[in-house]
Amino acid sequence: MHGELVSINKKLFKPKEAKISVFDRGFLYGDSVYEVVRRYDGVFYAIEEHIQRLFYSAQRIGLNLTASERDLIAEIYEVAHESGIDNAYMRIIITRGQDEIITLDPTQSQETNTIIVVKEAKEFLKPEIYEKGIEVIISSIQRNSKKAMDPSIKSGNYLNNVMALGEAKRARASDAIMLNVDGNLSEGTSWNFFIVKNGQVLTPPDDAHILLGVTRGKLKRICQDNNIGFSFQNLKPQDVYSADEAFSAGSFKEIVPIIKVDGKKIGQKSEPGLITKKLMGLYQQEVQKYCQAWLSRLK
């Protein structure tokens, strides 16, 4: 079997044939956790960190996983091998399963469901966003508080992000940045947010009600290794409007330049900034280095 696939509890299906019960708690309540990893020429970049975060998210919502991290990584590679797609988008979803009755009670579910989706990466990537950058808005939809649905848990409960993205699309923007309960910038709908000011890369701190992104952590180290100033700082909308550069970062789309926020041009030029471009190149080098090291271990 080759091409795009869906694995449901280790059984493979073509996407149109994949089905899960309407009584599954992931469908009914968003009672699930997930991760998205990108495959480059046969290698899933930083997959260990993504699976560690998946297990962390599961633990935080009281979802007991029977497979080990190593077993799940092996399953992911097996599904990818069956698909034959070397440059892939892979989404791993684990739901709490289904109950005999429809109830909020999480203790009623007997078995989890593990769904792995593999698709061609190119379906989701538009080359022009890297060359020209994107326009975003600061949404009126607030990011979840850590005391409600903690954003550090990567769960299937994403409705406020969906609403923020919808608001952006109605404003003819590509995406949205969300404020947290303190009125500070938190993150985008599916990415961490960065600005560059006076040669310094700034991003909201860990306690800003955000997901602790894998790529965010990589960029911190890349900046430190290349003598690029990097710090965590609470940011207000005005800090973005007066920034020299801005960009988003996520594991699948990597680094995407942001050229306008709320219709206001970032910096002096309507194009990606120099530090943003430099980080885009350095990040790609980091990915290549990781993939080469992983492949060398197989020889």
pLDDT in tens, 259-268: 999 999 999 7
DSSP state of 4: S
- pLDDT (average), residues 15-24: 95
How far from each other are the two terminal CA atoms of the chain, in whole angstroms?
26
Angle at 180 between CA 260 and CA 218, to 5 degrees: 70
Residue among 262, 264, 280 nearest 272 (CA) = 280
Q: Which residue is listed with tokens 């092996």?
A: 74
3-class DSSP state for residue 30? coil
Q: Give the domains, in start order, of the chain with CATH numbers.
A: 5-124 (3.30.470.10), 127-288 (3.20.10.10)
pLDDT digits (tens, 9 = 90+) for 214-252: 999 999 999 999 999 999 999 999 999 999 999 999 999
* Cβ–Cβ under 8 Å, residues 75 and 81: no
Tokens 């992104």 label which residue?
Answer: 213
Percent of the chain with pLDDT over 90: 87
pLDDT of 205 strictly over 90: yes
DSSP collapsed to 3 states, 123-187: HHCCHHHHHHCEEEEECCCCCCCCCCCCCCCCECCCHHHHHHHHHHHHCCCCEEEEECCCCCEEE
Q: What is the model's pLDDT at position 254?
A: 96
Distance (Å, whole) CA 173 – CA 162:
14
pLDDT digits (tens, 9 = 90+) for 266-282: 997 778 999 999 999 99
What's residue 299's pLDDT?
61
Burial of 298 (0-12, 13-18, 19+ CB in 10 A): exposed
User: pTM score > 0.85 for this model?
Assistant: yes
Distance CA 133, CA 153 (A): 29
Calculate mean pLDDT across residues 38-62.
96
Per-residue model confidence as pLDDT tens digits over 114-144: 999 999 998 888 899 999 999 999 999 999 9
CB proximity list for 161: less than 8 A, separation 6 or greater: 178, 189, 190
What's the CA gap between 191 and 174, in Å, rounded?
A: 13
Reading the block at residue 72, the tokens are 């799940």
Q: At what angle do helices 47-60 and 69-83 cross, to 10 degrees?
A: 120
- What is the chain's mean pLDDT, rounded? 94
